[in-house]
Amino acid sequence: MGKIGIIIVMIIGMVSVGFTPKKVSTESPFTVGDTLTWKMLGDVKFSKGTHPDYGEVMFPAVNQKVKAFHTKKVTVSGFVVPIDNENYALSKNVFAACFFCGQAGPETIMGLKFKDFKGRIKTDTYVTVTGYLKVNEKNVDDWIYNIEKAVVVKGL
């Protein structure tokens, strides 16, 4: 039997036993237990305001559902973006498409303040962290969201 005949027999066999191809998920397996999703975090409105040092700026107004998690322990997954030798951020997107590159808004990134971590994390490492959410709507020199006492629970 030639190659074409073998392929036809295989297809008929799959159909006859009720074969259904497995759907390929584009979701990361780490996001299953997240408390906060990037979609929730992205529901931010911005309004013009005046800052004493910067003049007119855009201040965020975080939705009430996310505000309810302020100071509460949360779990969130994303891509690590090193800020410098000691500070990291967690991003919805990889570095090439993150907030710093102009590909997204400030609601797609959050500061990470680790509890005890002293190592190094490579750019774009996908991790899940737990920690305490801090929502910031006033300080334009800080992230809209921070995770304090952050601990990496998956991905390293």
Instruction: Render pLDDT for 82-91 as a digit per residue (tens, 0 to 9).
Output: 998 889 999 9
- Residue type at 106 in one-letter notation: P
Q: Are strands 109-114 and 126-135 parallel, antiparallel or unpaired?
A: unpaired
Q: How far apart are CA 61 and CA 103, in angstroms?
A: 21
- Residue whose pair of structure tokens reads 């601990």 in the numeric block: 151
Q: Are strands 145-154 and 109-114 parallel, antiparallel or unpaired?
A: parallel
Q: What is the DSSP letter of 68?
A: T
In the structure, what pLDDT confidence band is assigned to residue 22 with cuts at 50, 70 and 90?
A: very low
- pLDDT tens digits for 136-150? 999 999 999 999 999
pLDDT over 70 at 100, yes or no: no
Please report the sign of the dihedral spanned by the C-alpha atoms of residue 105, residue 37, residue 154, residue 151.
Answer: positive
- pLDDT tens digits for 121-130? 999 999 999 9
Could you count the other beta carbons within 10 Å of the beta carbon of residue 33? Answer: 11
pTM: 0.75
State what percent of residues in the chain have pLDDT above 70. 76
State what percent of residues in the chain have pLDDT above 90. 59
Which residues is 73 bridged to in the sheet?
Answer: 132
pLDDT over 80 at 28, yes or no: no
Instruction: Give the contacts of 31 (CB within 8 A, at least 6 positions apart).
Output: 37, 77, 128
Q: Which two tokens stand for residue 47?
A: 């309004």
3-state secondary structure of 25: coil
- pLDDT tens digits for 8-20? 444 444 334 443 3
Of 24 and 72, more confident: 72
pLDDT over 80 at 43, yes or no: yes
pLDDT over 50 at 6, yes or no: no
